[in-house]
Each structure stands twice: as C-alpha cells, then as structure tokens.
Amino acid sequence: MRERRPGADKATSGLTRRRVLKAGAALGALPLLPGCDGQHQPDPAERSPGAAGRKPNVLFVLSDAHRAQALGCYGNAHVRTPHFDRLARDGVRLKTAVSNTPICRPYRASMMSGRFSHHTGVLTNRTKDNPGMDASGAWIPGEQPTLGTQFKRGGYSCGYVGKWHLGNVRLDPGPMRLGFDDYWAAALRPAHTYYEWNYATSAEDSVQGSGRFRVDVETDLAIDFMTREHDKPFFLVVSWGPPHEPFEPPPEFDHYPNVPAPPNLRAAKSYTKAGALLSLGRYYGLVEAIDHAFGRLLKALDAAGLADDTIVVYTSDHGTMLGSHGAIGKEMPYSESTLVPFLVRWPGDVPPGTTLNMPFGAPDVLPSLCGLAGLSLPEGVDGQDFSARLRGLDEGPWQDAVYLTSHVPSFMERPGWRGLRSERWAFTRTQKRPLMLHDLRSDPFELRNLAGADPDRDAVFDEQLKLLMQAAGDGWSLG
C-alpha cells in the first residue's frame, strides 16, 4: 500500500531549544501539536461531497475490543480477514488510529460527540463515576450535536443496529436516540450473549430469539435497512459485540488451535501462557466470524448497486490485552489496548490501497465523517476534520500526536494515567512520574521501556504531553 505523510520530520513546537538539542538525537522525529504544521484548512463551503456532487450513504461498522494487531491488513499473518483486507485495498488504512480512552462507554461517547471523555462526562464504564450520565446510566449530551443528529439535520435517514452502551435502549424516537430515529434495533443487555438476542425496536417492542450467531442476525437487520427504498441517503451504524469476550466463535470459525505466541505474551496469576494462547485462538475465531459478516454487508451493497455511492468505515472501540505484558482486558496504555483498526472506502473519492500514517482519535470521527459527506461541522468539538487527508489530499489540518487518557482505571490507583501516541512514539505517565516510553519503530511489541533512562528525553515528552493536554482542556496536573 502507498503510505502518505507530510514531508520531513519537524521539531516539537513549544519546547526549549536546549532540551530539543539535548534530546533530539535520541528522539528522531518528535510529535507536534494538532494543526501546527501551518497548512490551510479548507472553508466548509469549499468542501465537495464527492466528485459528482452527490451526497453519499454512510455505513459505519463498529466492533468491540478488536485490536488492530488482529487483522491481516495490519500485518497479522495468522488470522483470516479477507473482507477487512479487501476494504483496506479498496480504500485507506489508518496506521495509527487510537481509542483515546480505551474502554467502551468513553470511546462511544467521544465517537458520537467529537469530544474528549472529560468533556462528555463519560470517564469509565461504571455509571457512578460518570458525571455526564444520570442515575439510570443514560448519557446526557445536552445540546451538543452528535453523529446521528448532525447527519439527520443534513438530510439523512439514520439507523442504529447492535450494542449501544450509552443508556436505556427502550426508546421511542426522540432526543435520547441521538438522532437515530429512522431505524432502531439496539441490543438489550446482555449484549455479549452471542447465541441469544433481544433488540429494542421502540419503548415497548422488541425482537428476540436464539440459536444463531447474533452478529448474523444484526447483519440481516443492517442489510434490510440499507437495501430498502430510501428517498434520501442513509447513515447506518452497525455495532457488533465480538470479538469481545466470551470467546465463543461459531464452530466453523473455531479453527485456531495452535496460534503462535506474540513476543510480549506473559503468564500471570490468573492464567497460564497456554490458557492465554487458547483465548487468543478463539478471539481470532471471533475476528474471522465478524469478517465474514462484514463480507455479507459489502456483498449486499454490491448487489443493490450502492457500493459506489456509500462511504464504508470499519473500526473498533478499543483493543484488548489477551495476555500481552501479562495483562488482560483494556484501559492499559499499551498498543494492544489503545490501537484500533480504522478503514475507509469510498470509490472515486478515497484513493485505494493507501495508508495514512497520521494519528487519529475518537473525537476526530464526527468532524471527519461530516467533512466527507459535505455536512456542516458543529461547534464545540475537540476533534478535527481530516476528510481531506482521507481523500489523499495534502491540505487541511494534520496532527503528529494524539492525547490518551484513562481516568478511573481498574488496575491502578486514581487518578489514572495520561499519554501521547505518535506514529513512532508511545509515552505514558502518572501524575507522579513517567511510566512508559516506547520507540515503536524499533520496538513494535513494546518490550523495552525507555522511561527513566534519560531524564532530558522524558522532559521533552512531558512538555509535549502538557501541550496536548492544554489543547484538550485537560486540567490534570503533572508532578
């Protein structure tokens, strides 16, 4: 695939010359603040929704806990993902897409609103720790526009299928659906029972059943909506539960009994290395199962003659550790937790077979999708419109690093950690001290922690993190 990046490496703005000179040789390319490359951002009036002036459909497919490392197009030679790999060949693959707060609810609120988790008020999965949620666990975005409301205002028919995790799903059309009023099949809890299903279609009605893999049922619902006669373009979110645990793939995809161990796999108190590998193999089975379902969505678009007029996006809300570094679950600052796939196809507008190296986060989803579709951009978002970059143009904003955060992690003391991620570097710290620094170019499995080895180098990243936090409006103080 062809890789895109903007010219030569640049020095970090806002740092003292002494520190840059002392650390520069060790650091190589240093990350920059968003938008500090001086490039022109097109006025919204200059944006075109496509070469023919058409308004595209949008199919946005979101899975749960699919780390980028578990895809063929991201370099995994063991898991079978032909349909996701086809999407990468037909469009653009984002090499460094991240879950800024790598846990379900915070990611989903950020994706929906274009805002960081400390601005959405959704900090963790636990309702009591979320000031932006009411006592029932419903997210209250207030007047802030969301993906659904923005596309609805732009003349779209908006539908939602699958896991919601932002509050009650027994909803009639109205504000709590966040704009997804035209088609509603949101999964009632538990969303991770993969051979039983129960979907709310209104405040009173639901559809339920058992026996089939629930992703197949959700794919049927999605195809039903996409292939209906629409008098306006559609915007559809399909939110799958797998490959999140339980690791119970359909039998036809449960064929990974001897997967090789990643170099950073470690045993822990709660599991053996053999047990971690067994889970990893079944995780791969779930990944292949959702790839198969994704292929059905692509085939349905082809059969209905909709493929050329539809933006297709695939991503996930966060990754999962699965024994890497002796950890399980998410919320960790390692790449297995924070790095997610992000693939975009739009024939004729997004150049095929390209890789975008620019870091990209959850708050960038809303403005970038609006930009691709030619919709106005709402005020008050933290993310940026990178639609020009997705379309292969050397214009519009660029960011060399993204800000990461975990506010209430379950594995460490409050108030959590903050970090930054560039194409090359991953840096994390607590309030008291630098925690981890990895050179991803030479150490992709993050085996050599460089934090503490060179105080001047740590200081460079500390200052860059402070600038990113300042730009994000995060008042968390560093020690």
Q: If DSSP codes are grouped into helix, strand and coil, which group holds residue 114? A: coil
Query: Residue 353's pLDDT band (boundaries 50, 70, 90)?
Result: very high
| DSSP state string for 277-329 | HHHHHHHHHHHHHHHHHHHHHHHHHHHTT-GGGEEEEEEES----TTBTT--S
Q: Give residues with Cβ within 8 angstroms of 420, minimum separation 6.
A: 31, 401, 402, 403, 404, 426, 427, 461, 464, 465, 468
Q: What's the gap between Cα 366 and its chain centre? A: 12
Q: How far apart are CA 168 and CA 137, in angstroms?
A: 7
pTM of the model: 0.90
Q: How far apart are CA 471 and CA 33, in angstroms?
A: 8
For position 477, what pLDDT does the model report?
78
Do 249 and 286 contact (CB within 8 A), yes or no? yes
Domain spanning 54-390: CATH superfamily: Alkaline Phosphatase, subunit A (3.40.720.10)
**Per-residue pLDDT reduced to its tens digit, 372-396:** 999 999 888 999 999 999 999 999 9
| DSSP state string for 207-270 | EEEESS-HHHHHHHHHHHHHTS--SS-EEEEEEEEEESSS----GGG---TTPPPPTTB--BTT
Q: Give residues with Cβ within 8 angstroms of 35, minimum separation 6.
A: 41, 384, 397, 398, 399
Q: Give residues with Cβ within 8 angstroms of 346, minimum separation 6.
A: 50, 56, 91, 310, 311, 312, 372, 391
Q: Which of 97, 117, 95, 114 is nearest to 106 (CA)?
A: 117
- If you average pLDDT over residues 226-241, what whole number do you get? 95
Q: How far apart are CA 416 and CA 123, in angstroms?
A: 11
**Per-residue pLDDT reduced to its tens digit, 21-50:** 333 333 444 434 333 333 333 343 333 454
Residue 53, pLDDT above cutoff 80: no
Q: How far apart are CA 167 and CA 171, in angstroms?
A: 10
- If you average pLDDT over residues 167-183, what whole number do you get? 93
Output the CATH code of domain 2-40+402-472: 3.30.1120.10
For position 12, what pLDDT does the model report?
34
Residue 185, pLDDT above cutoff 90: yes
Q: If DSSP codes are grouped into helix, strand and coil, which group holds residue 175? A: helix
2-40+402-472 and 54-390, same CATH topology: no
CB burial readout 308-338, b (16+ within 10 A) else e: ebbbbbbbbbbbbbbbbbbbbbbbbbbbbbb
Residue 308, pLDDT above cutoff 80: yes
Q: How far apart are CA 115 and CA 381, in angstroms?
A: 5
Do 340 and 317 contact (CB within 8 A), yes or no? yes
Amino acid at 243: P
Mean pLDDT, all residues of the chain: 88
- If you average pLDDT over residues 208-233, what whole number do you get? 95
Q: How far apart are CA 318 and CA 339, in angstroms?
A: 7
**Per-residue pLDDT reduced to its tens digit, 253-298:** 999 999 999 999 998 888 899 999 999 999 999 999 999 999 999 9
Q: How far apart are CA 172 and CA 165, in angstroms?
A: 17
The phi and psi torsions of 79 (rounded to 5 degrees) equal -80, 145
- If you average pLDDT over residues 299-324, what whole number do you get? 97
Q: Which of 244, 226, 246, 245 is nearest to 236 (CA)?
A: 226
Do 416 and 429 contact (CB within 8 A), yes or no? no
Q: What are the contacts of 8-15 at 24+ separation with CB within 8 A?
A: 10/37, 10/400, 12/460, 12/463, 12/464, 13/467, 14/463, 14/464, 14/467, 15/460, 15/463, 15/464
C-alpha dihedral over 78, 80, 84, 88, to 10 degrees?
50
Distances (CA, A) of 183 to 29, 126, 215, 236: 47, 28, 17, 9
Q: Which of 467, 457, 462, 468 is nearest to 431 (CA)?
A: 462
* Category of 212 on φ-ψ map: left (φ > 0), alpha (ψ -120 to 50) or beta: beta
Parse the chain into domains and list their residue ranges.
2-40+402-472, 54-390
